[in-house]
A and B are shown apart, each in its own frame.
Chain A
Amino acid sequence: MDKTIIQVKNLVKKYDDLEAVKGISFDVFEGEIFGLLGPNGAGKTTTLEIMETLREKTSGEVIIDNYSVDKDQNKIKKIIGVQLQAAGYYPNLHLNELIELFAGLYNVYANPDEMLQLVNLQDRKKSKFKELSGGQKQRFSICTTLINNPKIVFLDEPTTGLDPQARRNLWELIKSIKGKGTTIMLTTHYMDEAEILCDRVGIIDNGKIITIDTPDNLIDKLVKSGFQKIKKQKDASLEDVFLNLTGHELRDE
């Protein structure tokens, strides 16, 4: 598993008077789900967008599958799938037409029905993006990242704003993408999501990576250091209660 597919070394990004990313380094291994965790404004999205070749870096090095973001932007774009936070899609087009548009932009052949089937939206192929529910929008966004059959998929806060059912549904989708051997790098500020989905996580705050490890190891380390929860954990959480009462089925479909 430990073949490195992404290398980030001493990455720095300065805006006019603000240093958003202050020299971070990490590796992502082929086939894993790597999560970048951190509060809002920690530099997650900036880091991700530099890796996606959407933003210039100030200094440092980013290598994606042996291509450098300095020289081989177009080669990188061909092998990655990108889901942006809050991105829109071309207005007035149906989902199947949007898939065809992206197939053209990637220069690949894609069957809209098959693509929509992957994210369980085959019934909505004649809908417009704005007519979809929150969860469906995110699923469609992820669908567009898969059109070019990418080696790496970047997901920026894929579950923000979704209800518990839709979040779980999306987790299953993300796991199924990983199941096909695709490397996934995502950002989130939900720790339960990271714990369930990610093989390894990097915690970022104030533009610096504080620690990188598997969720299990991080928890173990904290417990070993003598940490104790103030309130003893019960066997179920309020979310478990909610899901037990309202069911796991998706809503708003």
Chain B
Amino acid sequence: MNKNYSQLRAMFSLTKASLTALLRNPSAVVFNLIFPLIFIIVFGFISGSGFRIDVALDKNTDTNNPVYKSLEQIKSVKLITALPDEEISSELEKGRIDAVINISKNPDGMTVVSLKTTKASPERGNIFKVMLNEIISRQNLELMKDVRIPKTELKEEVVEGRKFKTIDFILPGQLGFSLLSAGVFGTAFIFISLRQTLVIKRFFATPVSRAAILTGESLSRLIFSIFSAVIIIVIGNLFFGFTLVNGFVTFLNMMLLSVIALTVFLGFGFVVSGIAKNESSVPPIANLITLPQFLLAGTFFPVSNFPEWLQPVSKALPLTYLNEAMRKISFEGADIFGVGKEIGILLLWGLAVYIIAVKVFKWE
């Protein structure tokens, strides 16, 4: 018999067992890896299309006019020709096309551009109107270039910046949500199941300590989630151009942040496993924790897009801070200390959650 019993050895054997079981469990793989990847792929493709204004041309338009030539140069304007009149007006009413123009010369030789926009798409219509005005004034200035009058001139300067792609916003959000659901669902299910099938009771008949059971099990979740995070980031970076500002250093900082966040989220899982009476009551309780954060914590849309009354709710959620911190690290190149405020709030949540977990967690 061993004189010195090592809780560490017991813990690692549990981690190994738990990890083996986890990899054999299809739902864990689907939730942690496949779901986030699907979202990333979907948004990765959507992001290519960008902003576009659809403009139909009246059939009498003079396509040799310089105004028309200028319009053709603008990438975000799609000119639609050869659409029958009746279809143009119905599409315009539905907002499927944003504007209709007719470019022609009146008997005096003056170019007249008539624009028809729709209330179904007012923003795009307005933007197009501004574009058109700009083209026409330039045209007029060109014609008057010999007239010596004081003119107003716009000098524009574009600051060099990194191009912020949709994937740069979506991927950190998906990563955050993957960590949250792994922490909450994974832990809650496994501890309830181990408790109900008396697996934990059988463990208690061995010299392993409770702390070793908890850390061993948590460690396996941590390894699995970090492994999923690596795959998500690598695929995002290689195939969808996800920005890692400082390359590998940024990657390491993201990993470190993931570990901190998952540790906090595991606490939610412990709480759920303590409150839920059986496995079937896990999903409603766990969804209550994860779904609002999925929607409100800036996973898909920036928190600033939400109405003002909703923003305080968003700003109270832990996932919001993980998402913000993750984006600051990946895109702005901050390191783990640069997101101290966000981590501080996450840790405050962690503290609160673990205090509750200690109170409600059940072993049998």
List residues of chain A with CB under 8 Å of any chain B CB: 52-54, 74, 77-80, 82, 84, 86-93, 97-98, 100-108, 144, 148-149
Contact = CB atoms under 8 A, between A and B. Distances in A.
Interface of B: 1-2, 5-6, 9-10, 12-14, 16-18, 20-22, 24-25, 193-194, 197-199, 201-208
B204 A54 contact: yes
B174 to A, nearest CB: 26
A108 B2 contact: yes
Given A78-B1, A101-B17, A86 B205 contact: no
A107 B2 contact: yes
Given A78-B207, A92-B24, A93-B21, A105 B1 contact: no
B17 A93 contact: yes
Contacts of B17: 90, 93, 97-98, 100-101, 104
A197 B197 CA distance: 29
Contacts of B25: 92
A74 B202 contact: no
Nearest to A130: B197
B199 A87 contact: yes
A84 B2 contact: no
A78 B207 CA distance: 6
Contacts of A101: 13-14, 16-17
Contacts of B194: 90
B202 A89 contact: yes
Given A97-B17, A106-B206, A79 B1 contact: yes
A53 B206 CA distance: 10
Nearest to A82: B205
A86 B198 contact: yes
Contacts of B201: 54, 84, 87
B1 A90 contact: no
A107 B52 CA distance: 66
Contacts of A108: 2
Contacts of B199: 87-91
